[in-house]
Structure 1
């Protein structure tokens, strides 16, 4: 049997509400309610309990900037079975709250031994309400998931169930002005809560607000709405209480009219709201949100990196810098963002002394790049990520002057930046003349900085080589920090466009495993061909840059040929062959991932699937069984492979003789085999030079960006002897 624990409604004119909010902002919500005269409050976790009348309900809905939902609990009971849930919900006097002709939606949160999934709980509650009205009137309410007349919430916690009416109807963070967000939009009520925590408000003394990484402009819009005393609920058309039987339309309309009259004149405000972002999509979204919020001319945003923007700052006037920069949830992202946070710290110290900085981040290491001591921090959840909002007073006594006095980059980072700039300058003319979009700018030139850095358009792809066990891990990490902090400045690349991977020997299925799920793809060009590259999801990007001259050679030799690409990877060589006029091509690889990628590359370049085919197979077994003949063959096998898809383990030094002979058996009388591999200590089997006409062309297949490392690959042209 169900047991009623309490009656949440206090009296005829008073209601006991539960007003939810983002975790960590309970105190902010309570103070906000007190300012509206709603003082009978009690703090809970991610909520404030409020006892108030009907007018107080409307005020909380209309004026709370921090609240997520305004809930009215109407029943609270113990449940020992699913039938108990049905019986207790049916026993609620629903005719006090709705009519049989109303539409309803039921949200169920939580499960227990009796209610094993939320959908089942919602269905049992819906049946109970329907049966209540059938017994009373012969009619039943219908379900409407989007904007029902009454939204009902069930919260199940162990054996206790709370049934509430959602008077807000939907999350109150939806103000009605935002249609689009940036890559990771901040919810409006979280933004408002952090602004209030930082001291911003209707009557605050701060006269300037800057968001240097504003994204879709949420901080700026919320701050302006506060300063103009515009009620956050004023633009919303849908409210859960409008279908509630106890709703009084006239009282609500009077409060709405009063709210409209409270709005301040922007011309008399005397406050500046400025934001920048380097992403075009983010600024476009910010401008649309500003327009929809009616704040054109009040809030100004610019598509500029904050480091380069000239903000209109009034000297000696107090202000707030508030921002939600990228967090760096993975190690590589964190490393790339060190420079960004350091530059933010340098910027606020140089441009916003005497102000305050509120910064939201999930990464304590990044927060330490701000050269000031945080006065306080607030734990919040943003987009499912646990974060802290740090408040930094930027007055002289709180700034770490010894840190500011130093260069933004450490001596090691500065030294590395100098080398990068030198390399980039050396390559600049060659890159421009050859219209190269992807190239290597650094490859362990200095042994202590053991990374390779490749440029893909305006992105930097960094691969950290595995350090010997003799190297102190802390020193290695510090050097990596130096590398990542130097790249954005030295190469003029956005911090968010730097991708870091740790490179070590791959075996078995590791050769094809995903590192990420972001599917970060872009299309790059090379010698008239287009390729899909993916900088984040796999260890390799889909294009081996050191083979650029080899691919060009294939393109020059391919006209009219039947081309075979063994261990084809993403079939970039086949695309070059097609571009060079190959009559046909066949690309063979045993990886599902790469053969699918190969097909997409061939399709991207608009070559016929009939003439340019891709086949998934073990190349060695395929060569043993094939009887086809080809005029031009490219073979670039891995150094080592023990994939389960292969019949045997492949060791290129041991097995290359057999591989070459199998390939030569498929080569036409006057054809050419281009054989390449990346084993740095590779030595060609002498007997191959006795059987075939062999030319070592390694030197000719190294472009300027790889000329320091003449062992990056070995390359041979092999023909039948006359």
Structure 2
């Protein structure tokens, strides 16, 4: 039997609300409600239950900075079958809450043995409400998913169903000032809750707030709105209660007018809000959010790293430093970020002693890099990631003075930074002249620092070579830390844009296995060609940098040619051939991942798939069966492969003779085969030089970023003898 929880006897109706909030901020929400005079509360998990009248309900919606939704439960009942769900929903007096002409949406949360998916639960509830109104008036309400006049929430927990009116209509973190899409910043209500937890508020006595890695400015905007007493719901145009039958438009408008009059004059505020970020997009988003929130002139944001920026700090006034720095989810990310956290810790104890400091991170090891003892921490969920907001009082007893005395940059890191800057200076003119966006900056130049560092626009892609067993693991770890801490300062790039991978010999399916699931893709340009690269998800990025001159050679030779690209990888050479005017191209590889990537590269450059085709096949078997001929062939096979997709194991030193002969059988008279491989001890079969015209062009295919290592690849042009 359905239990009705709300009735409509009089204007003085009392409502039992459930106000949800981010997990961990229940106490903050309750205190906030008490501050608005809403004191009949009871704490729950990720919610506060509030008993209040209609005016109190409106105040909760308009003034709560921490709440996620304001829910009005109207019935609950036991459910032992899908029919019980239908009957329980239909038994509610829906005419007390809406009419048949209203639009509605139903959100279902939770499942049990009878309702196995939420969509089915929502459909059964929708049918019940529609049938209720058909029986009452012959009409039925329409469904509107985006902004319905009445939004209904269905919560299923074991065998109990709770039906509620969602008075907020959509998540209350949407204040209306932040542009949707693009970046994925902290949600506004989580930011506000953490600010309140840190002690910020309208009359907190703090006169300075700094966010040194402000992103799109959420902490700064929320703090400014608190200090100016701007109601967080003031800019919202859509509310779930506006189509609810018991909505009192006049009362709501009076509360809105009162809220507008409560706003303080910024000129009398006397509080400094400052933020920095080294990302141009972040600062642009922050400035737009500041403008849309109506706090222009109150907050100062600058595109700069906090280490280099000179903040306007009053040493005699109390303040709060609050930030949400990057926290990597992969081991390589953590290594890159340790230096950032140490620099942040060193900066705060040197510049804002006596302040409060709050930092949000998901990584306890990174949090320990701050040279202060946290007073307390709050567990919260940010973007689906479990995090903690650490509060550090920057007072004499809490600061670890012995840690502060240590230098962030070790002598080894400083030496490595000097080498990077030297290499960057050496390559600068060549990079700028040829508009090179992706190049190798460092490749184990110093044997003890055995890494390769490639630059992709403003990202650094670091590959650690597998250390010999004779190397002490602790020493190797320290050297890697030296590398990762040196890169951001030496190259002036964000720590979050340093990607670390360990490189070792790959066999079989390992060549194609994912490292990550981030789908971190970007578009880079090379000699008029655009390529999709992915710095995180695979061992390789989709672009072999050492073959840049080979691709340019193909582009120069391709005009009017029929081009064949064997072991094509992501078909970058085929794109260059198309850019060079190739009549057609065929790209062959046995990997599903790379052939799909190849098609996307070709499509990106707007070449017709009618003339520029990609085929998934074992290249050796394909060569044996094909009877087509080509004017220009590029073949860059792996050094070794034992993939299950191949008929045989491929060993390039042993098998290259057969491969070349098979490719030459497909080469038209007067055509050229460009044969390359990356086996450092490769020796060309002498018999090939007797059968064909062979020219070693390895030295000609090494650009300045690879000329320190003439074994990075071997490259030949092979022709039929006249």
Output the TM-score relative to the length of structure 1.
Answer: 0.92
Equivalent position of 1:455 in the other structure = 455
The 8 Å contact of residues 10 and 16 in structure 1, kept in 2 or not, is answered as no
Give the Cα separation in 2 of the matches to 1:587 and 1:88: 61
- Partner in structure 2 of residue 232 of structure 1: 232
SS of the counterpart of 1:656? helix
* Structure 1 residue 7: Cα displacement: 4.7
Residue 107 of structure 1 is matched in structure 2 by 107
| Contact 1:182/1:215 (8 A) holds in 2 | no
The 5 A counterparts of 1:518-667 are 518-527=518-527, 529-555=529-555, 563-577=563-577, 585-602=585-602, 613-667=613-667
Alpha carbons of structure 1 residues 523 and 92: separation in structure 2 relative to 1, 3 Å = closer
Kept in 1: contact 2:66–2:192 (CA 8 A): yes
**Residue 465 to residue 75, structure 1, CA distance change in 2 (3 Å):** same
Structure-2 change in CA distance of 1:204 and 1:556 (3 Å): same
Do the aligned partners of residues 81 and 670 (structure 1) sit closer, same or farther apart at CA in structure 2, a change above 3 Å counting?
Answer: closer
| Residue equivalent to 1:257 | 257
Q: Tell me the distance in 1 between the aligned counterparts of 2:5 and 2:201.
A: 37
Asked if residue 404 in structure 1 is aligned to residue 377 in structure 2, the reply is no
Q: Which residue of 2 aligns with 1:193?
A: 193
Asked if the contact 2:2–2:91 (Cα under 8 Å) also holds between the matched residues in 1, the reply is: no
In structure 2, the residue matched to 1:176 is 176
Secondary structure at the aligned position of 2:408 is classed as: coil
Tell me, yes or no, if structure 1 residue 307 matches structure 2 residue 307: yes
Which residue does the alignment assign to 1:483?
A: 483
- Which shows bigger deviation, 603-612 or 287-296? 603-612
**Cα drift, residue 483 of structure 1:** 1.9
Alignment of 1:379-458 (within 5 A): 379-458=379-458
Partner of 2:62: 62
CA contact (8 A) 1:182 1:285 kept: no
User: How many residues are treated as equivalent by the alignment?
Assistant: 720
SS in 2 for 1:87: helix
Question: For residues 57 and 173 of structure 2, what CA distance do their matches in structure 1 show?
Answer: 17
Tell whether the 8 Å contact from 1:586 to 1:615 is kept in structure 2 after alignment: yes
Aligned counterparts of 1:586 and 1:683: Cα–Cα separation in 2: 28
The match for 1:158 is 158
Alignment gaps of 5+ in structure 2: none
2:68 matched to 1:71? no
Q: Please state how far the C-alpha of 1:671 moved relative to its aligned partner.
A: 4.5
RMSD (CA atoms): 2.9
Tell me the CA shift for residue 79 of structure 1: 1.9
Deviations 1:329-355 (A, max 9, x none): 222322332333233223322322221
1:677 Cα shift? Answer: 1.3
TM-score (norm 2): 0.92
State the alpha-carbon separation in 1 of the partners of residues 695 and 157 from structure 2: 76
How many angstroms does 1:30 deviate by? 0.9
CA distance in structure 2 between the aligned counterparts of 1:273 and 1:612, rounded to whole angstroms: 55
Query: What is the SS of the residue equivalent to 1:707?
Result: coil
Post-superposition offset of 1:269: 0.7
Q: Out of 691-700 and 261-270, give the one that drifted further.
A: 691-700
Answer yes or no: is the 8 Å Cα contact 2:315–2:352 preserved in 1: no
Contact 1:182 1:216 in 2 (8 A): no
Tell me the secondary structure at the aligned position of residue 705 of structure 2: helix
Indicate yes or no: 2:353 matched with 1:348.
Answer: no
Of 7-16 and 441-450, the range deviating more from structure 2: 7-16
How far residue 156 of structure 1 moved from its aligned partner, in angstroms, is 1.0
Q: CA deviation at 1:296?
A: 1.3
Q: Which runs of 5+ in 1 are unaligned?
A: none
Once residues 395 and 289 of structure 1 are traced to their aligned partners in structure 2, the CA distance between those partners, rounded to angstroms, is 33
Instruction: Please name the residue that 2:512 is paired with.
Output: 512
Distance 1:126 1:565, change over 3 A: closer
How far apart, in 1, do the equivalents of 2:138 and 2:576 lie?
75
Q: Tell me by how many angstroms 1:699 deviates.
A: 3.6
Equivalent residues in 2 for 1:87-166, closer than 5 Å: 87-166=87-166
Aligned 8 A contact 2:207 2:270 in 1: yes
1:201 positional shift = 0.2
Quote the residue 2:206 is aligned against.
206
Give me the whole-angstrom Cα distance separating, in 2, the residues matched to 1:141 and 1:604.
46
- Measure the CA separation in 2 of the matches of 1:611 and 1:86: 58
